[in-house]
Amino acid sequence: MPGRTSVAAVSQGPVGISAVDVIIAKRDGGRLADEQIDWVVAAYTRGDVADEQMAALAMAILLNGMDAAETSRWTQAMIDSGEVLALGDVGRPLVDKHSTGGVGDKITLPLAPLVAACGAAVPQLSGRGLGHTGGTLDKLESIPGWRASLTLDEIAAQLADVGAVICATTPTLAPADRKLYALRDVTGTVEAIPLIASSIMSKKIAEGTGGLVLDVKVGSGAFMKSRDRARELAETMVRLGTDHGLATTALLTDMSVPLGRAVGNALEVAESVEVLRGGGPADVVELTVALAREMLVLAGVEADPAAVLASGAAYPVWERMIAAQGGDPAAPLPVASHVETVVADRSGVVGLDALAIGTAAWRLGAGRARKEHPVQAAAGVLLLVDPGDPVEAGQPLLELHTDTPDAVPGARAALAGGVTVSADPTPRNPLVQETIR
């Protein structure tokens, strides 16, 4: 048609490279050349490769994989699509942590101020929740006044002053990932390990930190349900970090049951404050300390994070971190207008499945189905018992918190089969299952 440019015409690169040729090469199980990877990622970022073409390539990668060299080059191309943050000298070694996401996974909230209280600096660029997994920014935005978006100068100044920042990623950081992540979400290609690993690591490498600890979840409430898949992802990311000069360690941690007793935004903030004051659930404390130890090793800082956390010394750092971003750490957190209790239908030993609990919290309003959807600050599930606890018939097991009572039936349906009372306890998995360096 006159005046119309075909997709094929737009999707041409240097001599011998086109989007169609790149798709076909990977579709047929071939290895992509460095120049093909560089071109297709850059061209997609600037809009010269169409969404449907990148979707086809992502599916080919999901089905046929990429080898270590391809994945490393793809990650570098993602980094090169934007800027690398130059935080400068903040007076402390920089070290970061990333979690692949889970249910009740509020660990970043106590961890960042704890590591700062031990003497390192934590530039934690975080994200929002999607589906049954919670988002760190959503949790912190339940604190009155707190803001997620900071300039690079504000990030650097806060790191120098407080030692910890938890904020949204900057728009210039790996913009290729932002486009590709949204596309993978709607094309059934989220599970491709090379794309997961490059998505996470491109942002963390571009962040400019000196060390990175990965918390790779495994279990029903995790993205990776099997330990083998979780290990493959962890090993891929550790290798990518090493390839790009970033000291990286990964822990495989259990996500078959929720972390702690609070699942939701304000509920998890309140539990995190308990931990920072020297209390809180044992599993949240255990994982916070385990990750802090690994972060301090990478930062070259000698300190005992268990003792620092138990003393409450990390709590003042939390107060300063929240206040520096406009929040009021002393302000009351939002409370749900509607609370319903779920009780045991018999006597026995309670079992709690992470996916069921996370899905219930999502349906109550704590999570979102798409990135643009709002969340309720006060919604979520508060567990009144721990997995393996003996309970009596009629005993309260958990509370459903929401501002939309119509959501409760859907939440109760999500819990079916995921909250059980049986004669025999199910053995609980170790929280930290493996360390990969």
> How many Cβ atoms from other residues are within 10 Å of residue 394's Cβ?
10
C-alpha to C-alpha distance for 9 and 350, rounded to whole angstroms: 61
Is residue 98 part of the annotated active site? The answer reads: yes
Strand partners, 252: 216, 434
C-alpha to C-alpha distance for 305 and 302, rounded to whole angstroms: 9
In this structure, are strands 247-254 and 211-218 parallel, antiparallel, or unpaired?
A: parallel
**Which contiguous run of DSSP H or E holds residue 428?**
none
3-state secondary structure of 199: helix
User: Catalytic residue among 132, 203, 204, 363, which?
Assistant: 203
Cα 34-36-37 angle, rounded to 5 deg: 65
C-alpha to C-alpha distance for 148 and 154, rounded to whole angstroms: 11
Q: Which amino acid is at 156?
A: A
Q: Please report where in the chains the tokens 């120049």 appear, as a residue.
A: 35
User: Catalytic residue among 199, 202, 220, 272, which?
Assistant: 199
Strand partners, 391: 348
**Length in residues, the chain:** 437
User: Catalytic residue among 177, 215, 243, 353, which?
Assistant: 177
User: Catalytic residue among 132, 139, 184, 401, which?
Assistant: 184
Is residue 177 part of the annotated active site? The answer reads: yes
> How many Cβ atoms from other residues are within 10 Å of residue 277's Cβ?
16
Is residue 244 part of the annotated active site? The answer reads: no
User: Catalytic residue among 98, 106, 132, 231, which?
Assistant: 98
**Which contiguous run of DSSP H or E holds residue 230?**
helix 227-243
Active site positions, annotated: 98, 177, 184, 199, 203
